[in-house]
Structure 1
Amino acid sequence: MSIGNSVTAPAFTSDGYMYQPEIETLPREQLAELQLDRLKKTLHHAYSNVPHFKQSFDDTGVNPEELHSLEDLAKFPFTVKTDLRDNYPFGMFAVPRDQVTRVHASSGTTGKPTVVGYTRGDIDRWAQLMARSIACAGGVPGDMLHNAYGYGLFTGGLGAHYGAEKLGCTVTPMSGGNTEKQNVVLRDFGANVLCATPSFALNLADHAEQQDIDLRSGPLRIGIFGAEPWSDAMRAELEQRLDIKAVDIYGLSEIMGPGVAIECVEEQAGLHGWEDHFLFEIIDPETEQPLPMGETGELVITTLTKEALPMIRYRTRDITRLSTEPCSCGRTHVRILRVTGRNDDMMIIRGVNVYPSQIESVLVGFPNIAPHYQLVIRRDGNMDTLDAEVEANPNARPEQYPAIAAEVTHHIKSMVGISCKVSIKAPGEIPRSEGKAVRVKDLR
């Protein structure tokens, strides 16, 4: 299978992953029929086995028998993250606990963790979808895959691991952290595929240069990056510094984990959402009404094949839009265009809505500065202020910092429409990510 021929690959790998080009290229009318059949079963399964869903459906005045079309799903209530926390730990499970093969959970830094469960069938489907996703990104059986996503309760590490093995790759389970050793292993093991958060991949590139390790001339050709929003400017930076194709992957633990959607290596222009397993909607986050195809709003996802933890109209808080425009790779599944931010990540500074990714787009690739930054929100009297702490490029001299700060301030104002105080930090002063980057410090 060539890097640009994933849809028409052979039927099986030695590890049992089954390529299904007939599913990935299914005409949209037939895809909708499959979704409707699976949606009906999912609604009945959730209503019959999860007290929360029975209560919320009854309170809304709907029941599964009223679903006759995909459009009827809009009658059903949303599920939100607090529903999982309110039913902590296992109250949202739709099967007895002894049928749950594995549990994952969020960190719980803002309250009780959100606990998610998987039956043996769920685990197998997850591995199949991650294998499909890696193949979509250009991975092939026999590739050496370096997995720098965190292992443990976080879904990223094990999700990518099982999918890569299912595809027939050789997996190096590095997890996060230990940056210097990561680069040595990347070089010495001859990795073809790197899985990591984009901020950690950038950190690896920085350290590789400091260690005099040349990753560009090695066999590394693909980076599968996710778990945090990142910009096209960041993509360009990673592709240039690592000489790879940088592909965006999307997932969230409440729905499954990584592998809900991924860009194809052919176009890298929107993530193919696997509609045979998930139903995607876009809603206006204020009115909560569905929006037409192509309009920007909040992504809502319903699972279609989950056994242990079905999710009905889960509000992801991610801001994006959907497209059914044909893709040169041949896949017909809807594309989720790049996530620009989250409802809960949005900063409102003096009446202006700002996402960290907007600031990042200005900073990445800017002359004399490195692509490392933190945004700090403070309260000055009755007014919120935004400071941008930006790291200087090693080639920039300290006496240049004031002029660089003034130039960056001007560009943020002109491109984003907000005034902020920019301070230039010396190389290495901005904290590096060993996993998900912490881009915003709210000190109000």
Structure 2
Amino acid sequence: MEQYTHPHYWFGQWIDDAQLSKELLQRSLAPRFNQILSLAFPFQDLLQTCQALADDLFQQQKSFTVLHGYLCTQMATAEAQAILVQLIAMLQKETLQDKLLSELGTTQPHVLERRYPERQFETWAPLGCLVHVMPANVFAVAAMGLLEGLLSNNINMVKVSARDSQFAALFAQELVSHDRSDRLHDYIAVLRLSSKQNDLLQSLFDQADVISAWGGEAAISAIRKMAPDSVRIVAWGHKVSFAYLSHSMLQNQEAIEGFAKDMCVLDQQACSSPQTLFVEGNEQEVLQVAQALNTALTRIAPTIPAEDPDDAAWAEIATVINVATAEQALGLCHVIQEPHRAWRLIVDYRPGLKPSPLYRTLWIKPIQAEQVTSVLRPMRAWLQTCGLAANFNETKVLVRKLFAAGVSRITRPGEMLNSYNGSPHDGLYALQQFMRRITLDASEEFAQLGSFAQLENGAADKMLSKSKIMTKADFLQLMHSQQHTYGLVVRSGGSSGQTAYSHFLWKDYAKQMKETAHGLLAAGLNPKTDVVMNAFAAGYMYGSFISFWTILETLQIRQLPMAMVDDYQLLVDEIIQQQATVLIGMTPHLLGLFNAQGQRIKDYGGLKKVYFGGEGLSRSQRHYIQQCGVDILRSVTYGSNDAGPIGYQCEYCEGGVHHLFSALQRLEIVDLEQDVPVEQGEIGRLILTSQARTSPNLERYEIGDTGRWIDTACACGRSDPLFELVGRMGDVFKAGTPQLNYAQFVQIFSDQANYSGRLQIHLHADGQFNVIEVWMDDSLGMTEDAAAALLLNQYPELSMVQKLGLPVKVQIRIQVEADFVKIKASGKIKHVFDHRQTAVIEQ
């Protein structure tokens, strides 16, 4: 294979030493780097590529064969498998997004976003070329460093030792092999260089904007001397960690066993491994702790695999033990050794932190709480982790002293080597060290823009995927099977006859609400001047009110949390009292409000913007609301409980036309009868794949709505695709009401009136009123008025509409059989006709 004969991976190809010398010494890399850095980094492709490689390794496919096969030539099979398990966890898309969120506060570090409520934009930007100087033969560190460099959108040149293995380069090759964009190779080079190749190293460092260096003080000092003064140096040097046993815990067996475990795991090779155990006690108590620890090691050490030290390590250990044994005669030390040299404990009664020769060799020293800062602070540049065993009152004092001394991390006994996703390393977030924070204060032309992603998103996903379309039943089953993993649970209105629930991880919810805030800005909201009354439904686990609470909080706008009250007079009183300029809420409730209090709203004259949700408005309904002094009347957002936010409107969107939230969703529109893409301009079913639900993975979900693509470019300049929402599918519909179900109409008349004839529903708009016209045949056996009264009394949602005084009419019409509209192909009666949609589309 080429990679075994050519040592360097150079931006997508393998090259030899002569070619590398030519590239570094004879050619200028500046033009190449300038061109790459001037383009948008393929960030989403990076996340997909990492997940694809993780899947390959987990399923033991092509990349697994390459990487596992090579590792097995370098180490035992068990060690090779452990490294690949570590890489699989590291490469998960969700893991990478959690790291981004933890370190940078966003999962989109490449996107300029509004700093609400101000007009400025901020984001993270790469420093440019990131040179990594890696430690020798630490296989996973090179992969981790490369991933961090890519997550920070930098060009990465990874320098490994000339004596090192080719694993880092092979990892880069396999990562690139899964890249569908064919662009990531432009950001990756892995070079095997000796520290003696000064000319090549100097040229390499001259390319850098930032150097990430692993090594001891001498190595870091040499790099600083060679690097240009303008280059940022991020040093990951050797660190010292220790354990601490407070006076109240001297006989705590669990703590002592925890420190025994910390001592054995990885044989103290990690920077977070304890090298000294500090004990709050006198000489006798310190010795007793050492003896208890020795007993604990007898049980624990054999259960944890050990690495046998090489000759040099044994020589260092022997020197330390010999000196300590000699000092034991002077009463300065006490040495405890396991007979077969499995571990060593050196009790030293003199103060101070002491580095260990490792391989299960631990110093045990006395200390007092009041001495902590003075004893440790001289070592502050080298301190990392403290494993602390103390009670509540001791801990609250000790943590301040330990952090003041220079410790960057305090853990529990037995967990010193543990970590969590997104945790800082040596007190730093790596991604922040590799990036800079940039700002933009743009002209007024950008006043309605919340995110530059809306200007840069790709085209609509009109090609049909091969995976199966997910139905509502599939979705509910998925929710039920994974509901224990979620943070937020909301319920829908239960249009199918049973209550349905949706579950969201908090981080997914936060991303969706942030994007929706950008959408409201596009729809005309002004965070600096508007006052918004939130009249969405609250309580009963409904999600609309709390969602828009979060959205308005994101915008940092003044909010009036009114909720969907039925006291319209009170609602308008507060609009006037608080000088509200914006009203948001559900369409039927807003229509009811304007029907009851329209003249007062018009007389007030300050309510200039109304944003409606849940269903559209007919032309006559729009005209009626706008007559009350409303200048902007738009969709607050198009979305659902299941899929989250889907579309938003800008100033040029009319009727049911929306921009797709491309940062949140991929949209397909497929034929009403077949699972094939619709023809140009045709109406079809909306199929959504969520980009913002990390768990569960919502892929190709049929949301129950219909629409069509709008292929013209929008005058607002946004590249988020345009589509037109046309209406609901099937028998579930809204008519200024909660969702209604055709089957419920049939059931009521069957149970209450013994009716088994035909039933067809026609929906109309009459001014500000929605009209539900139910056609039945002459076998009904009661008058039209009596039938209407029965329906209103027996259908709870219609009873609620009547109680609230919403502008909805229910009418029964007795029709002859020939009048019922039938489906031509089957001769069956079509259940629901929505005659309002024509009015909406014509706008």
Query: TM bucket by the smaller chain?
Result: 0.5 to 0.7
- 1:25 correspondence with 2:425: no
Question: Equivalent residue for 2:699?
Answer: 312
Matching residue within 107, 112, 115 for 1:12:
115
Structure-1-length-normalised TM-score: 0.66
- 1:83 correspondence with 2:186: no
Structure 1 residues 250-269: aligned runs within 5 Å: 250-256=638-644, 259-268=645-654
Alpha-carbon distance change, 26 to 352 in structure 1, aligned in 2, over 3 angstroms: farther
Contact 1:255–1:303, Cα closer than 8 Å, also in 2:
yes
Shift of 1:156: 1.5
Shift of 1:262: 1.8
- 1:290 correspondence with 2:693: no
Contact 2:769–2:807, Cα closer than 8 Å, also in 1:
no
Secondary structure of 2:532 counterpart: strand
Alpha-carbon distance change, 26 to 150 in structure 1, aligned in 2, over 3 angstroms: same
Question: Equivalent residue for 1:224?
Answer: 611
Distance 2:504 2:771 in 1: 37
Question: Equivalent residue for 2:554?
Answer: 166
Deviation string 1:391-410 (CA, Å, 9 cap, x unpaired) is xxxxxxxxxxxxxxxxxxxx
Shift of 1:126: 1.9
Question: Equivalent residue for 2:527?
Answer: 141
Alpha-carbon distance change, 240 to 77 in structure 1, aligned in 2, over 3 angstroms: same
Structure 1 residues 18-97: aligned runs within 5 Å: 20-26=450-456, 28=458, 71=463, 73=465, 75-86=466-477, 90-93=480-483, 97=485
Distance 1:274 1:117 in 2: 20
Question: Equivalent residue for 2:499?
Answer: 113
Structure 1 residues 201-350: aligned runs within 5 Å: 201-209=590-598, 213-215=600-602, 217-248=604-635, 249-256=637-644, 259-268=645-654, 270-345=657-732
Shift of 1:267: 4.0
Secondary structure of 2:456 counterpart: coil
Secondary structure of 2:600 counterpart: coil
Shift of 1:253: 0.5
Distance 2:784 2:702 in 1: 28
Matching residue within 563, 588, 592 for 1:199:
588
Shift of 1:441: 8.4
Alpha-carbon distance change, 380 to 280 in structure 1, aligned in 2, over 3 angstroms: farther
Question: Equivalent residue for 1:103?
Answer: 489
- Unaligned 5+ segments in structure 2 are 1-111, 123-448, 734-741, 744-756, 789-798, 814-830, 832-843
Shift of 1:10: 8.0
Distance 1:77 1:304 in 2: 17
Distance 1:310 1:442 in 2: 44
Alpha-carbon distance change, 386 to 354 in structure 1, aligned in 2, over 3 angstroms: farther
Please tell me the residue identity of whatever aligns with 2:615.
Answer: E
Secondary structure of 2:503 counterpart: strand
Deviation string 1:293-348 (CA, Å, 9 cap, x unpaired) is 42111211111121233321111221221213111111121222143343224789
Alpha-carbon distance change, 234 to 184 in structure 1, aligned in 2, over 3 angstroms: same
Shift of 1:439: 7.1
Secondary structure of 1:254 counterpart: coil
Alpha-carbon distance change, 80 to 161 in structure 1, aligned in 2, over 3 angstroms: same
Shift of 1:27: 5.7
Alpha-carbon distance change, 181 to 294 in structure 1, aligned in 2, over 3 angstroms: same
Contact 2:666–2:689, Cα closer than 8 Å, also in 1:
yes
> Comparing both chains, which one has the higher relative contact order based on Cα–Cα distances under 8 Å and sequence gaps of 6 or more?
1
Deviation string 1:237-288 (CA, Å, 9 cap, x unpaired) is 22223423210231101001xx421221244351111112101111222223
Distance 2:803 2:683 in 1: 30
Contact 1:126–1:159, Cα closer than 8 Å, also in 2:
no
Please tell me the residue identity of whatever aligns with 1:154.
Answer: Y
Please tell me the residue identity of whatever aligns with 1:80.
Answer: T
What RMSD, in angstroms, separates the aligned Cα atoms of the two structures? Answer: 3.9
Matched residue count: 339
Distance 1:17 1:160 in 2: 22
Question: Equivalent residue for 2:433?
Answer: none
Alpha-carbon distance change, 13 to 245 in structure 1, aligned in 2, over 3 angstroms: same
Contact 2:464–2:668, Cα closer than 8 Å, also in 1:
no
Shift of 1:78: 1.4
Question: Equivalent residue for 2:512?
Answer: 126
Shift of 1:23: 0.9
Please tell me the residue identity of whatever aligns with 2:512.
Answer: W
Question: Equivalent residue for 1:397?
Answer: none
Please tell me the residue identity of whatever aligns with 2:561.
Answer: P
Secondary structure of 2:688 counterpart: strand
Alpha-carbon distance change, 109 to 267 in structure 1, aligned in 2, over 3 angstroms: closer
Query: 287-296 vs 297-306, which deviates more?
Result: 287-296
Distance 1:386 1:169 in 2: 50
Alpha-carbon distance change, 17 to 352 in structure 1, aligned in 2, over 3 angstroms: farther
Distance 2:121 2:707 in 1: 31
Deviation string 1:173-231 (CA, Å, 9 cap, x unpaired) is 1111232211111121111211112221121112214xx62345432211111212432
Contact 2:771–2:811, Cα closer than 8 Å, also in 1:
no
Please tell me the residue identity of whatever aligns with 2:778.
Answer: D
Secondary structure of 1:113 counterpart: coil
Deviation string 1:137-162 (CA, Å, 9 cap, x unpaired) is 11011321111110232221111111
Secondary structure of 2:518 counterpart: helix
Contact 1:199–1:435, Cα closer than 8 Å, also in 2:
no
Alpha-carbon distance change, 335 to 437 in structure 1, aligned in 2, over 3 angstroms: farther
Deviation string 1:76-130 (CA, Å, 9 cap, x unpaired) is 111122223445x63155xx52xx2211112336444222111121121122022
Structure-2-length-normalised TM-score: 0.36
Please tell me the residue identity of whatever aligns with 1:378.
Answer: M
Distance 2:693 2:721 in 1: 20
Contact 1:131–1:167, Cα closer than 8 Å, also in 2:
yes
Question: Equivalent residue for 1:157?
Answer: 545
Shift of 1:136: 1.3
Distance 1:322 1:386 in 2: 41
Distance 1:104 1:430 in 2: 21
Contact 2:595–2:807, Cα closer than 8 Å, also in 1:
no
- 1:376 correspondence with 2:774: yes
Distance 2:587 2:669 in 1: 25
Alpha-carbon distance change, 112 to 71 in structure 1, aligned in 2, over 3 angstroms: same
Please tell me the residue identity of whatever aligns with 1:277.
Answer: L
- Unaligned 5+ segments in structure 1 are 1-8, 36-69, 365-369, 391-428
Q: Which structure's residues are more often helix, by fraction?
A: 2
Shift of 1:430: 11
Alpha-carbon distance change, 80 to 167 in structure 1, aligned in 2, over 3 angstroms: same
